[in-house]
Amino acid sequence: MRPLIIIGDGGHAAVCCDLAHACGREVSGMIGYLDEAEALRGIDPATVELVNGVGSIGTRQSQMNRRKVYERLTAVDFRFAVLTHPSAVIAQAVVLEPGCVVMAGVIIQTR
């Protein structure tokens, strides 16, 4: 598996880092989302996977920040990992798309 780089450097990013470790993944770094383009310059997208650790305070604008990071970086061929905590319960019919992070104790049912 490729090492992970977490986009974001606040509380949500720290929780994503803990999640990555719980999944047995190597985290090679955390970078602020306002400067991710510069921080990722020179890194071959095929050598890492990203985790979107950009936090949200519940407003539509802050939620859009996560989406913008995802769109901006997938447009230049970076891939986002799917992370599922070992304690999460996920129904068989559920499909987790790239960039999905499922935290500890979560239950996802089909309906």
Question: pLDDT of 51-63, one tens digit each?
Answer: 999 987 767 776 7
β-bridge mates for residue 4, sequence order: 27, 49
Give me the pLDDT at residue 97, please. Answer: 96
Contact 33, 54 (CB under 8 A): yes
Structure tokens at 95: 């499909």
CA distance 96 to 83: 9
Give me the pLDDT at residue 36, please. Answer: 80
Contact 98, 78 (CB under 8 A): no
Q: Which residues, at least 6 apart from 111, have a Cβ–Cβ distance to it below 8 Å?
A: none
The pLDDT of residue 101 is above 90: yes
pLDDT band for position 6 (cuts 50, 70, 90):
very high
What count of Cα atoms within 13 Å lies in the side-chain half-sphere of residue 102? 21
β-bridge mates for residue 5, sequence order: 29, 50
Does this model's pTM top 0.85? My answer is: yes
User: What are 21-52's pLDDT values in tens digits?
Assistant: 999 999 999 998 777 878 898 999 999 999 99
Task: Return the DSSP state at 36.
Answer: H
Q: Which of 110, 111, 107, 71 is nearest to 89 (CA)?
A: 107
Helices (H), the chain: 11-22, 36-40, 60-74
User: What are 61-96's pLDDT values in tens digits?
Assistant: 767 888 889 999 999 999 999 999 999 999 999 999
Tell me what the pLDDT averaged over the chain comes to.
92
